[in-house]
Structure 1
Amino acid sequence: MRLIKNCLYCNKKLIGRTDKKYCDPQCKSSHQYQREKQKPKRFYNKVDNQLRLNRKLLKEYNRAGKATVRSGILIKEGFNPKFFTHYWKNKKEDVYFFVYEYGFLKRKENGIEKYVLIQWQDYMN
């Protein structure tokens, strides 16, 4: 005896196996996509995606090992300074925030907010 008589996505009458849920692969895919879209984004995925974007941008703008970039440029590309993996404090008490091996320090020079970008070094342990 068939429990589900119609396709879960398009509601067409099903023909064939008694445990069939969809009329074709397209309906199955569309239904699963629709269900997944309705679920709230997982917190872990949001954090991981932002960390990956932050690392990519820090790496891209810091090719020489140390650089200074206006904060507006990075933020415009999606950089979020609230997402970092760890920090390091130097002898001057400046706190560098790191996204894996790429770090940044927020500075204000001549009224313009900038980030000093650095790369992790062995002496920072």
Structure 2
Amino acid sequence: MKSEKFCLACNAELQGRADKKFCDPHCKSAYHYEKDRRENNFFLKVDRQLKINRKLLRAFNKAGKATVRSQTLIDRGFDPSYFTHYWKNNRGEVYLFVYEYGFLSKIENGKKKYILVTWQPYMEK
């Protein structure tokens, strides 16, 4: 008695080896991509948030340096705990960077703000 087997991705009937799980490489790739997405993969979550942070920092920092209330960015999905690297200036202030866009948390007039900057060549050292 022959048991019918079906592709895990598209549910098409499988022909060939008894241990075959997918009908072609495309279905295999699609299945694993969806599986990773469904499992809420940690790396995908981090990458997604970094992209959001970079997009917001870029949008609010058109001139190369700007000051923005922190709540303005946070309300739009910014999460300051996700960054790629940091830079410490001569005064000991630590700028957190999301790729080429950086921010420094400051409190001015009792309000939390971010000073936004872009990466500069002198920051390499």
Same fold per TM (> 0.5)? yes
* CA pair 96-4 structure 1, distance change in 2 beyond 3 A: same
How many equivalent pairs are there?
A: 110
* CA pair 38-49 structure 1, distance change in 2 beyond 3 A: closer
Q: Which TM-score applies when normalising by structure 2?
A: 0.74
Structure 2: runs of 5+ lacking an equivalent: 16-26
The aligned counterpart of 1:92 is: 91
Cα distance in 2 for residues equivalent to 1:38 and 1:124: 37
Identity of aligned residues (%): 53
| RMSD (Å), alpha carbons | 3.1
Structure 1 stretches (4+) deviating beyond 6 angstroms?
A: none
3-state SS of paired residue (1:124): helix
Cα distance in 2 for residues equivalent to 1:101 and 1:38: 27
What amino acid is aligned across from residue 3 of structure 2 in structure 1? L
Q: Is the 8 A contact 1:2 1:18 kept in 2?
A: no
Q: 1:39 offset after TM fit, Å?
A: 3.9
The aligned counterpart of 2:22 is: none
The aligned counterpart of 2:67 is: 68
3-state SS of paired residue (1:64): coil
Spell out the pairing of 1:81-120 with structure 2 (5 A cutoff).
81-120=80-119
* CA pair 119-40 structure 1, distance change in 2 beyond 3 A: same
- Rg larger for: 1
